[in-house]
Structure 1
Amino acid sequence: MTDFELIKLALEAREMAYAPYSHHKVGAAIESADGRVFKGCNIENAGYTPTNCAERTAVFKAVSEGVKNFKRIAIVGGMDNLTALPYCAPCGVCRQVLREFTDPKAFEILLAEVDNVTDLGKLDESQVHIKVVTLAEMLPLGFGPENLKLD
């Protein structure tokens, strides 16, 4: 799967976002080590604390299906009235959840700036600008499962 195809899946997931309070819609598509893709969107709640980000929705969907090994994630987001989307990085909580299931030095985070999202069916690669960073770059000195080993 190309980076562009993964970004398009994240854009499709963004269409399902439930963001009636912030109007900030986010979509994510996470690719497992075996090539399966799980999509997620942000889901808000009037109580705010129970809100779930798109990245965590995608991870939790995958884990609930028995998948716990990932190689990359594509993330797109922005206010729902925008026709062009800026880069949208994962929050700290999502970075920590991704850290639980990945090798931070190898796991790639694809962030996309999209020039025109009015018709996903007509979207082409020239409208998408992708920035790729590793989780280690986004979460330096991260705390992970190896920090809890007794030996």
Structure 2
Amino acid sequence: MEQKGIKPEKLRSLIGRAMEQLALSYAPYSHFHVAAALLCEDGAVFTGCNIENASYSATNCAERTAFFKAVSEGRRSFSCIVIAGGRDGKTVEYCPPCGVCRQVMREFCDPSKFQVVLARSLEDYKVFLLEELLPESFGPDTL
């Protein structure tokens, strides 16, 4: 069964990519590891993990890492992101994106179409539209 337009085999592949990325997370302070797999509309996938810093404001989230990698490679059209994370890399709970990451998603994505998948495993996940996670958002079309 498709979840809001995502084919099950593609979704499982994206979740798997995000789960693999958890091992690369650098979280020596919070021990909260997060990883993401971002699907471009052309089918390319960019992954990311959180990278902490002793100066906390210099920390970068997994979602933004994936977006910045994709944008720096010329991509501007995205359809879905999978996010997985948890304390010591254990995906016990769903890991929603922070507000800053939601705003970065809004910069590049149509909130009524872009899908955000919160995964605990290949079989256990929730799918949201960005507009559900960031209602009444401020974006490029607001200016």
Amino acid at match of 1:103: D
Find the counterpart in structure 1 of residue 46 from structure 2.
Answer: 38
Find the counterpart in structure 1 of residue 6 from structure 2.
Answer: none
Give TM-score, length-normalised by structure 2: 0.91
Amino acid at match of 2:48: G
Find the counterpart in structure 2 of residue 138 from structure 1.
Answer: 133
- Where in structure 1 do 4 or more consecutive aligned residues deviate above 2 Å? none
- The 3-state SS of whatever aligns with 2:124 is strand
1:81 shift after superposition:
6.1
- The 3-state SS of whatever aligns with 2:24 is coil
- The 3-state SS of whatever aligns with 2:94 is coil
For the structure 1 residues 72 and 47, does the alpha-carbon distance in structure 2 shift closer, same or farther, using more than 3 Å as the test?
same
Counterpart CA distance in 2 for 1:15 and 1:110 is 19
Counterpart CA distance in 2 for 1:85 and 1:35 is 29
Find the counterpart in structure 2 of residue 69 from structure 1.
Answer: 77
Give TM-score, length-normalised by structure 1: 0.86
The RMSD of aligned alpha carbons is 1.1
Q: Which runs of 5+ in 1 are unaligned?
A: 115-124
**Contact in 1 for aligned 2:34/2:89 (Cα 8 Å):** no
Find 1:13's aligned residue among 16, 21, 43: 21
**Contact in 2 for aligned 1:76/1:85 (Cα 8 Å):** no
Percent identical pairs in the alignment equals: 55
Counterpart CA distance in 2 for 1:99 and 1:59 is 11
Find the counterpart in structure 2 of residue 104 from structure 1.
Answer: 111
State how many pairs are aligned. Answer: 135
**Contact in 2 for aligned 1:76/1:111 (Cα 8 Å):** yes
**Contact in 2 for aligned 1:112/1:129 (Cα 8 Å):** yes
Find the counterpart in structure 1 of residue 60 from structure 2.
Answer: 52
- CA deviation vs aligned residue, 1:98-126 (integer Å, no higher than 9, x gap): 00000001000011123xxxxxxxxxx4x
Counterpart CA distance in 2 for 1:46 and 1:12 is 25
